Amino acid sequence: MKTKISIDLVIPTHNRSRSGLLQRTLTSLVKLQTNDEIDVQAYIVANACNDNSKEVVEYFQKISPIPILYFEEYVPGKSYALNLGISKGLGEWIAFFDDDEIISTDWLIEFSKKRDEKEFDFCAGHHIADFEVLPPEWLPPSNSISIIACHDEKIQQQPLSLEDAIFWGGNCVVKRSAINTVGEFDNILGRSGIRKALGCEDFDMQHRLLKAGFSGWYFPTLRILHWVPESRLNKKYFRYWMFWSGYSARQFYFLKEYEKSHDKLWFGIPRWNYKNILKAIYAHLDNCITLSESKNIFDSELKLRWYLGYFLARYDEFNNKKNIR
């Protein structure tokens, strides 16, 4: 027997009204299809904003068939904003979206269907790249997925595991009871305007949920469009992103102390990481020597930059030069 769904939609935002991105997201929010079996409310959390986000939200509050509540979180950091949104709601389910996304109009209906079809405690949806301009030919085949935050179209509906990296914070749902068990998003993690690195709050949440025995699924029918501006479609940005992604990965493991479970470390780094970087070096040299396609050479270069960031973060830990907390 079908039961009514109670779901909160939490959208943190940081100075996205000037670019019009917040307006795009809220426009998609008010267009969401719903029915009598879905009880939904939206919570917009302005995180250290100094633009007119409040006025923009107030306009959409007047025209939205879905109740929209507005809150302000003055401490910079995405996790702070997410946790404030969580604390303000009462829904059985909590869905999280980013302020540069367009939510598919059938998202709520599709989630209702999946809730009736499957037993799960949390889930991730499908990200589709929404390019401002046509993507360049040099776009690397493997690393683009994470840099521009879009899922491979080949990924099918599947249960989530600790090895998966497809649970992203901008289109996911978690049962409130599960969050009450494992705790909210870690405020140490999550990007903020005061530091370049870190993030990983979504991966950490997935890790804690699975470790606690909760069941997660990936549903490709829960779709959003993720904005990819022209300013990010250049090699300088891709190199920057991969370097700091590697740096953040090392920060994450250092802060969460996950690597204490590894019994074979060389200079504080799991031994298998040295094997992986040697493979990455070999792959890049092979691409260069064999004059592979330019996008393949760039792809292998990006993997090396990730490891460069990772090892530099370990060096900073060793020398106490960075206070990454």
Q: Where are the domains of the chain?
A: 5-232, 235-319
Handedness of CA 187, 189, 191, 196 (dihedral sign): positive
- 20 in helix, strand or coil? coil
List all residues 6 or more positions away from 62 whose beta carbon is below 8 Å from its beta carbon.
none
What value does the mean pLDDT of the chain take? 88
DSSP bridge pairs for 266: 269
Give how far the C-alpha of residue 156 lies from the chain's centroid of Cα atoms, to the nearest Å: 19
The strand ranges marked E within the chain are 5-13, 38-47, 68-73, 93-97, 101-103, 122-131, 158-159, 171-175, 216-228, 265-266, 269-270
CA dist 29 and 130 (Å) reads: 17
Q: Between vectors from CA 220 to CA 216 and to CA 224, what angle results, nearest 5°?
A: 105
Q: Tell me: the pLDDT tens digits for 239-261?
A: 999 998 888 888 777 766 655 55
pLDDT in tens, 87-132: 999 999 999 999 999 999 999 999 999 999 999 999 999 999 999 9
Residue 224 CB neighbours (<10 A): 23
pTM of the model: 0.89
Architecture of the domain defined by 5-232: Alpha-Beta Complex (3.90)
